[in-house]
């Protein structure tokens, strides 16, 4: 390996939660839905995620949130639908 090859770093759940503010159970649900990087089993009860994948997923998710269509609100008084 040469000095220009970036090393992949494994991070544990507490470090993942510093990057994305999700609970462990929410991360698990997102993984199952294919919306979050899959954990890697390191052995026994030890799992980790690749930091590069978690960071890239967080950037993609924040970008998606910025360009996602606005949510729709139903007016209580008129029953009309408006885009917020």
- Ranges of beta strands (E only) in 24-64 are 40-43, 46-50
Confidence of residue 64 (pLDDT cuts 50, 70, 90): low
User: What kind and span of H or E run contains 83?
Assistant: strand 81-83
Domain ranges of the chain: 10-83
Q: Using CA atoms, how far apart are residues 69 and 80, in angstroms rounded to an integer? A: 18
Per-residue pLDDT tens for 2-61? 667 678 899 999 999 999 999 999 999 999 999 999 999 999 999 999 999 999 988 887
Token digits of residue 28: 């698990």
pLDDT at position 84 over 80 = no
pLDDT at position 73 over 80 = no
pLDDT at position 71 over 70 = no
């Amino acid at each position: 390996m040469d000095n220009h090859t970036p090393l992949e770093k494994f991070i544990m759940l507490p470090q993942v939660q510093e990057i994305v503010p999700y609970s462990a159970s929410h991360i698990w649900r997102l993984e199952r839905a294919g919306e979050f990087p899959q954990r890697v089993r390191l052995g026994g009860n030890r799992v980790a995620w690749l930091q590069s994948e978690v960071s890239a997923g967080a950037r993609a998710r924040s970008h998606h949130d910025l360009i996602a269509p606005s949510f729709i609100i139903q007016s209580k008084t008129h029953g009309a639908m408006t885009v917020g």
